[in-house]
Structure 1
């Protein structure tokens, strides 16, 4: 079927909760996607950070296919080798002690909130159940994770919301101190790089102070690494850049290499309060998905991370030379581009697609989340296309280049 027929069918049968580009992705290989009309695109989105190894990686595909032909699913009433294998790899890589598997970042963050509240009730009794998150954060679209999200734009039309959530501005330690005074907080939840909030990294000193404050009061520190984790920032966890050991870490996106997975990693003291019946997920720890996750992690050796960091530095250097770029934010291969002259990120995204480059947006910024397998040549091509697009797009005001 051609593009028009597929889009027409989508409009008739699929709920329209996404503002899609008029592109039908038909196949992909490595860094390249092809649409239903045969046009190729250099992909700097990786499915919003999911395709860590790019499209149809042969080793990943072989691991998934082999497992699918052997055992595609069983319930969590039984054990499977891929689930335990992936859990062991994650714990050894992160210094965490136990893992709960789910299906998405939102589900992982829901699980983290439940673990934090269960720890607090078990340790201190009821009345200490509030979760503090940061203004401009994003933690998911379920009711609890939507409530934890510190952006009003996502809250419209969906109340009433669950109770016992609060927000403080990022990088404002005094605001957090004041929020903790009532003594009703069980956890602080934060992204080290606020992705949907504009690709903004937290200050390192602030992160260290928050960790110290939480440790002093035995308030659990939850770090949402749904987008920053699994190599995205040049280390397996972004927490490692900050020499941070959280009580709970959430992962998703790149972990499955293209298949849906979420993970809640926790320290022993948290895990000890979660017993049989305290949480569950029918598809959590699915053997096919876990086989894919193991294939992703097995690729992440020193050379893999060296390439991520080298390409990230090259990408930032190239972007900063473009006259229409105001600033480059983020960490590693999680990149935000602030634009001069009132240029609209949505218009840049559309023009990039016409030029054969797929990019994302976050608020008023261009967001880049390329597959972690990119090469210096891929970086140079993407920078060149962005430079051409920004040069041909006029400024919307008189103040920018």
Structure 2
């Protein structure tokens, strides 16, 4: 008999009932240092006072009216995002998956309105993750994502990760509309695109007119020590997908774009029931009040550098468990020697949350404001987990 909850997740036997800062507590009273932050979502920790205040204050006023009407907080949030980024315009969604759908539509509509509808292919890369919608799984192209869901949405062409030679050839083909890439691949195991490669991608897009779409759903909103990861390379996209951290734990996503890239999206071309609702916007504005400050971002970058050095020492101390550390800011991957599932399970046993990823990596995506004591405790618990693995293997 199928369970009442559709079994699409292999869930860990942990039932969290309370969270505060960088700590989670289960219903049986166990406490865990959370270095996953809901997969890069709770960027100010659990029950952050400023977010609780923003949400509860708005909850007593207005939850939902639909996008048939002007929503002042939505306008305020869009204005703030335009002020902070490359973008001229913003469409607010509920998730990264929805943002992917709109980004694909926007790129194709752009060329349709230019009189070249045959220019509809979007270049993507091996290891990519852009959500689990029809467009998202087609963009990733991996068998794990698309198997059993045929017919798959057409118009995507996958290239090898880091294969600039193939890109040089493909991007000049007459049917190419856009290039879609994560500046740091998250689900594939924290694989940053080198800054020089990102600069080359931007230059190729400028040369060919191809639109550059950046998926910053996981890498954005301060995660890398910059508000968005592409800033590390000194480039800007034409279209950008955001979600996860922008709502600080409340569901929210968005697509940011230049006026030119968004020019095809006119009245009636897209919509959403819940996207940009007052509750979500109130929380996001509180998030940006904090994360949008240069001093806060500088602190994230410094914290990331210090954490990387400490993790490198952990790798050196446990070469039979870990082999490398990679990633910018507080978006860090620990490459494992043993199966990463074993590392995640051992960390559960020692009371610390880390997140599995592809290519045998575990991710550390802590709250951006995690304190030194909590971070030290989390590292001590990862160290204890590594020792358990070594003892069991002896």
Which residue matches 2:303? Answer: 311
Mapping 1:163-242, distance limit 5 Å: 163-242=154-233
Q: Give the TM-score of the pair, scaled to structure 1.
A: 0.93
Deviation, structure 1 residue 397: 9.3
Conserved 8 A contact 2:171-2:204: no
Q: Deviations over 1:45-94 (max 9, x none)?
A: 11111111110111111111111111100111111111011111111111
Conserved 8 A contact 1:314-1:376: no
Q: What is the distance in 1 between the residues matched to 2:393 and 2:387?
A: 15
Deviation, structure 1 residue 395: 9.2
Secondary structure at the residue paired with 1:22?
Answer: coil
C-alpha distance 181-240 of structure 1, shift in aligned 2 (>3 A): closer
Which residue matches 2:327? Answer: 330
Structure 1 gap segments, 5+ residues each: 1-10
Which residue matches 2:365? Answer: 369
Which residue matches 2:261? Answer: 270
Q: What is the distance in 1 between the residues matched to 2:275 and 2:254?
A: 9
Which residue matches 2:347? Answer: 352
Deviation, structure 1 residue 201: 0.4
What is the RMSD of the two structures over their aligned residues, measured on CA atoms?
1.6
Conserved 8 A contact 2:190-2:327: yes
Conserved 8 A contact 1:130-1:186: yes
Q: Which deviates the most, 185-194 or 154-163? A: 154-163
Which residue matches 2:74? Answer: 83
Conserved 8 A contact 2:171-2:208: no
Which residue matches 1:3? Answer: none
Q: What is the distance in 2 between the residues matched to 1:150 and 1:317?
A: 35
Match of 1:254 among 245, 249, 259: 245
Match of 2:120 among 105, 114, 129: 129
Which residue matches 2:375? Answer: 379
Q: Deviations over 1:160-214 (max 9, x none)?
A: 1011100111222110122234310100000011100111101111111111011
Q: What is the distance in 1 between the residues matched to 2:289 and 2:92?
A: 19
Which residue matches 1:15? Answer: 6
Q: What is the distance in 2 between the residues matched to 1:232 and 1:182?
A: 35
Conserved 8 A contact 1:311-1:379: no
Q: Deviations over 1:206-246 (max 9, x none)?
A: 11111101111110000000000000111100011111110
Q: What is the distance in 2 between the residues matched to 1:271 and 1:223?
A: 14
Q: What is the distance in 1 between the residues matched to 2:312 and 2:140?
A: 31
C-alpha distance 396-180 of structure 1, shift in aligned 2 (>3 A): farther
Does residue 391 of the first structure (1) align with residue 383 of the second (2)? no
C-alpha distance 397-143 of structure 1, shift in aligned 2 (>3 A): farther
Number of residue equivalences: 386
Structure 2 gap segments, 5+ residues each: none
Secondary structure at the residue paired with 2:90?
Answer: strand
Deviation, structure 1 residue 396: 10
Q: What is the distance in 1 between the residues matched to 2:216 and 2:393?
A: 37
C-alpha distance 395-211 of structure 1, shift in aligned 2 (>3 A): farther
Does residue 105 of the first structure (1) align with residue 67 of the second (2)? no
Does residue 297 of the first structure (1) align with residue 277 of the second (2)? no
